[in-house]
Amino acid sequence: MQSEQHIIDGLRSGFRQRASYEKLLYAQFDYFIREGCRKYALSRDDSFSAYSDAVLSAILNIINDRFDGRSSLKTYLFRIFSNKCIDQVRKNSINRQLPHQTAPVAELLSQLPDKARSVIDQLIHRDTKQAVLECLEQIGQRCKEVLLFFEEGYTDSEIAEKLAYNSAAVVKTTRLRCLEKIRDRMQNRLSHGRNV
């Protein structure tokens, strides 16, 4: 276990050395992920995402001298992590409250003859695929690359190597964020009945 000051000094060092200290910081407190699952009843992916976001925020604040050292690095990071968890809990509860429009469509489809149902299923699939492709174009080149590599079966480690990310954990965080962007855009399309 590295001293907090050693990690802080390393993060403030040059770009080349910084990557190894970012990994040290990430690994030093990664048990927060379990705490997020326990304390906030988050899924592992949601808690992982909150932790990754918290670490990224802490790193940026340390690099930009916005961390003044009045608290320990652990306390500081946990405060950011807690706020990210609370944001995720709010987001999850809002998503649960959104009306789900798939049940009525499925119910209506079940009442159609098999041939008509097959045609409508194909139309829905084609429209959904087109909507996802449009959203993919809107979320940025980096997101698009990560998601397309993942869709082709590359692991997070392989994607990290291909796209020069620091680690597989960073790729996973990026991938989850990108998927969240697509999901948000798709929900907007459904709720507004139009392109976003």
Decide if 42 contacts 91 (C-beta within 8 A): no
Number of other residues whose CB lies within 10 A of the CB of residue 64 = 9
Domains in the chain, CATH or no CATH each: 4-96 (1.10.1740), 100-192 (1.10.10)
Q: What is the pTM of this model?
A: 0.52
Q: 194: number of CA atoms within 13 Å, CB side?
A: 2
pLDDT tens for residues 44-63?
989 998 998 899 889 888 98
Q: For residue 29, what are the contacts with CB-CB under 8 A and spacing of at least 6?
A: 51, 55, 74, 77, 78
Please, what is the average pLDDT of the chain? 80
pLDDT tens for residues 64-109?
888 988 899 999 999 999 999 998 888 887 766 554 444 455 555 5
